[in-house]
Structure 1
Amino acid sequence: MPKQKFTLRFVTFLLVNLWCKQMVIMAKEIIPVGVVLDLNSTVGEIAESCISMAVSDFYAVNDDFKTRLALFTRDSRRDVVAATSSATSPTLSATRSKYFVRTAQDDSSQVKAIASIVQAYGWREIVPIYEDTEYGNGLVPFLLEAFQEIDTRVPYGSRIPLDFNDTQIMRELDKLKAMQKSIFLVHMSAFLGSRLFLLAKDAGMMSEGYAWIVTDGLSALLDPVGYELMDSMQGVLGVRPHIPPSKKLESFKSRWRKNFTTSKPQININELNLFGLWAYDTVWAIAMAVEKAGIVHSGYVKPNTSESTVDIAGLGKSEMGPRLLRSILSTRFQGLSGEFRLAGGEMVPSAFEIINVIGKAERVIGYWTPERGLSRNLYTRGKIAYSTSKNKLKEPIWPGDTTQQPRRLRIGVPLKTDDKPVVSGFTPDVFLSVVEALPFPLPYEFIPFVNKDKQSAGTYNDLLDQIQLKRFDAVVGDVTIIANRSLYVDFTLPYSESGIRMLVLTKRDERDNMWIFLKPLSLELWLTTAIAFILTGLVVWVLEHRENKVFRGKPGQQLGTTLWFSFSTLFFAHREKVVNNWTRFVLIIWIFVVLIISQSYTASLASMLTVKRLQPTFVDVKEIRKNGYFVGHQKNSFVKDFLVKELNFNASLLKEYDTPEEYHDALSTGIRNGGVAAIFAEIPYVKLFLAKHCSKFQMVGPTYKTDGFGFAFPLQSPLVPYVSRAILNVTQDKDKMEEIERRNFGRETTCLDQASMVTSGGLRLPSFGGLFIITGVASMSALLIYVTKFLYIHWPASNTVDQERPFYMRILELAKHFDKEDPSAHHLKRAGSSVHPVSSVEIVGASPNIDDAHGHSSTSIEGSGDIIVDQDHDNHTPGSGAANPEPPHTP
């Protein structure tokens, strides 16, 4: 009986306790919350369990709250509006409805992180593959804008509807493969994305040479997927929001794993995903906001009818909406997925982590933040500059289990007959310098253009055709830019000088003959010098004729004296004394000119007599063509067509050569022994040849202009402007180009000097033009001043002539007056003294006789010198002891 009483009391206590708890619960304000999930998807299953645990965990900690959330879950049955991924679509925005709040990160927030990855690896072309839904299409405009900012081209977009079967998806993949596309960005939900990668592996597109990037729609779901899908995604890069590690998160993961395994043992999922964590934090945020807002039971405004599946503005609203909205927007706390903070109805973007799928899991190779860009470590102290360098990331493993960066540029190179592709030398060195000058990394590989026998597979035109056939992404070699080639490829700016030159054999110049002394000066310089001598002599005659007896006499004697005086200045042997200061001025300038010309002549003649001289065997294309000589050209080059079509050579007289050794043998053999008269080649080839054989051969004739050597790319390739700008930077760097040329062509100083000697025809007039101008101006100035002074003084004398006589008669009278000796001049006084030998007998007893009136004097000198100095012209009387003065002259 006591036992029964105890049992009754215990049962009564339990009932009372349960009733009290029920009353407490009934006293709480129940807030109904609708939950829309796709319960047939992995995301929906995980989100449902996380939401349920969130409610339990929140009220276990906050049991004193006056409000309680009551969840009403609805299965969307794959309806797009209810899919979890749709909540991240940029088409859903708070700007369309102020009551829309997104607690998952907007898909567009990851676009800049994706663009930074593309920029870091230097991909100039990328193909987005996205599902044909509002979720998939909504991100495309943001991607296009971001890629445009980094100059990455999107040549094609692959849109795959949800109802595509495997055959249709495989057909689209084959199309991409045929288009030679290898860099892809996948933006899909897990349902379609998993099928895509399984089929891509079957299509051979998960092998070496391909690169795949996935958005967070797939990368956030990698943990719970099966082994088969993970195996098909090896080497894939992914971008997803970073979840900071915490003890709270690890504890929740452990509890969730036990709970999920117990409640749903039929589903083989062992790991959480990002959407589950967002759902958990969202429930906590709503619960906090509801309690903070003090919401009581309120009515519900009926929704407007809308055809759009994502028309948030058309959904119904609670009457307590404004208060609840303000409360939610102001809610901040540290959740499982990181800091919960809203701005403008959207989650504030956090850092993104960049993952690389390796084996059965993924490895974080770096992070991206709006402030720092790419970085290997997220939590780094100090201020770091924004970076888009791949060096800031860990080295990923790419599809095909390789560390080689995908989409290395497949560069076709020509093959020479020595079975060595042109991967070293002038052109590759320039290309390497250009790649270094690019603002982004450019991975590449050289692929020889060969056939099965490892021989050249064709001409340069055939090589360029491979770009159009999608077998090469570019061609690097000695490819000349010509018009017809630009119809199917895009060329960069030329990296070398352009033109075709003629290469010929040289022979010894037989200049050691009796007329070699005429060779140092060109014909025009000889003529100009002779004319200058004559004109200078005439100027001196005009200036000295009236005052200096040396330049007087019969006309023939005057002409001889004038020419002798002028030409004797060449050897500084002139003994005639001059009395006019203007003459001295002219002679100073003229003797300086003569000195320069004579010294230059001597040096040039000495060079001709001592240095071995060479001259080309042929200099005229017409001569070669007229005589029907054989000519050579570079093998597989457009030069053959140029010789036939432009220079009108007979095709049967053309021979192909490839190496410098073949050039040497063909020219050295000679035209009579089966060789060629000349070889036509592009200037870089001629330079390369002359670097080794400059002593026997010479580049002659005109330069036939071409547009030079350039790198070839597909039409409208986005790389062309970048490579062209890099070429400009390299070619304008003289030090770098000289180093490249010196490394490949050697030091050409000696050869260039010989070439200049061979082509020299002696000293030319332009080299001395300035000297002739100076002496001409000096002579004409002196002559003009003298004549002007003469006319000024003596023109009145012509007035004595009858004024009625013709003008020319007056001019003749003036000329006759000019020809007369100047009676007022004291000849030779200023020029010096005449010296006459005398005997000592004539000196004895002589006494000075000074005539002050006329200024005539004779002075005898006694001593060891047996001379008498006569300062009065020629008034010397032989045999007398003194000079007798001449009577004064009466005009």
Structure 2
Amino acid sequence: MKIAFLKLLFLILFVIPDGPCKSLAGRPSIVNIGSIIRLNSTIGGVSAVAIQAALDDINSDPTILNGTTLHVIMRDTNCDDGFLGMVQALQFMETDVIAIIGPQCSTIAHIISFVANELRVPLMSFASDATLSSIQFPFFVRTVPSDLYQMEAVAAVVDYYRWKIVTAIYIDDDYGRNGIAALDDALTARRCKISYKIGFAANTRRSDLLNLLVTVSNMESRVIVLHTRAEQGFQLLSLANRLNMMGNGYVWIATDWLSSYLDANSSVPAEILYGMQGVLTLRAHIPKSKMQSNLVSKWGSLSKKYNHSDLRINAYGFYVYDSVWTVARALDAFFDDGGSISFSNDSRLHDETGGTLHLEAMSIFNMGNKMLDKIKHVNFTGASGQVKFDPQRLLSIVHPEDLYSKPPNTSLANQRLYDVIWPGQTSHKPRGWAFPFNAKELKIGVPNRFSFKEFVTKDNVTGSMKGYCVDVFTQALALLPYPVTYKFVPFGSGTENPHYDNLVQMVEDNEFDGAIGDIAITMNRTKAIDFTQPFIETGLVILAPVQLFDFIFCTHYTASLTSILTVQQLDTSIKGLDDLKSSDYPIGFQVGSFAEEYMVKELNISRSRLKALGSPEEYAENLKLGPKKGGVMAIVDERPYVELFLSTYCKIAVAGSDFTSRGWGFVDLSTAILALSENGELQRIHDKWLKTGDCTSDNTEFVDSNQLRLESFWGLFLISGVACVLALLIYFGIMLRRFLRHEPPESAVSEPGSSKSRRSLKKFISFVDDREPPKKKRSLSLSRSSMPTTPMSNLHALDIERPVRPIRNGSVIDIEN
């Protein structure tokens, strides 16, 4: 409220026209700039030395400012106490300055930016808060990279190591909150997220920080991003070490507060170093330059001269040094362009209460817009690299988006990081998560079924749940790399199958944390738990047999063996899903199954056609009766139930192909179940529960309507057999008649009876086999040796009406008439 009040106060006070002017014509001998920093901090101390170093170099360089001396008015401010820091900053604004270096604190930067806008004084700030924008604050000039880039780098590290969730601990001010917001956006872009974030005040007691870390240790994420200031950061790391949170499995990523402290302090206490072993931190990249090397070489003497001998230069020192040089170069261009230093008092700013906040002493820099324009166009190589500003008045560096647009860096496979010694003195990459110690016992809803109890049911003796789905669930949990505590809660009376809609509603109402059993869930109705992820949220677990949502038709048939082909194969119109939809036959479904709603809502089948069946016996009976006797033509059910049913009633027909409903799904322990499948355990569980019946030859109660058996073709066999016998008899008669025509009757008179019969049989067989005896009549025998050597052309001219049959072992050609 205080901050909002001061913002509103200054917006109201600074709308009255300018008062009397105070002017310094031409190039003045001295020009004042201001500096608002926290002197007792590492960044503040380094910044103070860097400002003085820059002034020494500028004022000793005759090529800059042409004899005008640049002077700094430095004011210490309090970053921990926001209100006191704002009052100190406002008091500082009573001085006439043409630019301000700082502040480093984002909270103070927001308030001073409002004042700088009204007084038209460029604010050369090295506050990294990404929400400080030149759109809201036209005189705000950022001289360090924004936290957007830093958080982008943190997200890139998280993504590189393939962690998906992080915990964020931050100081609860503008700097901390806005930095974590930027991190959240960067992680989301990489399909990662902050699973838990917790802030703390700068003056939080040690005991409260300890409780904070205890809470964090109970979370599933082991990747912790620490975005704070150095004092609080080291205190948290020390406490985390006491809680064994700096050991194996943990990942600590500190933002650049840690690297800034370590770079600037030559001697770090041993307890601090011990408490942060394995912590990752970020440091801004500073390219090599001549101005940088010159500054580094004389830093030791400068730090002693300005009472900060214990501090070395860090990235912020380079940025602040270049900020002063930026003001000097812009001021030189400002003078060259005819600019003059003049301020206007505003009569509105009068402290009527007589307090120490002399608002009337504040002055407006009349040519502040022109000075700001000169700053925007500065371009030189400084200690931090190339110094120029983009249209949003942000320090223009080689932006990460430019670096990552190059092909070698667009893929994680092309990126390389040095090996890391992680907390716990291990080089093995931490998994990044663990099952939370305070995780509640999951309540798993289990249908207490009446039929098909092989899948899941309640043991009435022990009260425990058993079945195929229960075994798969427990075996899969045993393969998970983290413990899961759970208890089974039966659902249903056991006298009928519970309806899946009721169970879904109980999960959505958080009465159950999950469910097992073949319960079908539409994706747009559920909250889902995926146990393949390293964290658990309130939601639904569905564990079901493979291909849960395939349907099978069990069609009605006629028991008569003679009617299978004619009735089922030819007359039945139900061949698949489309035929079933277009018919008017009654259809059966399992009590409590989602198949009822699916057929009504998805297939547009009238509910009046549907008949609920509660057991395998009812399945068999209704299929046997058929639609004309009060039964059903087909049953629509899930594959596992049909397979179990057919293992007992194995001669019931299966008609049509499986079909699957798009948009339906279930969530399970997929990775663990895959492992069960690969090691054969899933098949063992399947054989234990789902192979309960044997199909034997004695089981003739039902007949398969689609499967063709040997006896199904006896009619065809009979017809084929009769046709073959008749054909054989006719052929035999024809051949016998031809044989008798060619055999002379007198040749058999002088032969004994037995020899004659054998010879006649042999002759008949030879005749049938194209071995006819030589003819005495109407035949012409020619000896091969006496045949004329007739040319082939003459032979072709012979008129041969009978076929020529060469004798296999003779040399005679027989030419019949």
Normalized against structure 1, the TM-score is what? 0.45
Higher Rg: 1
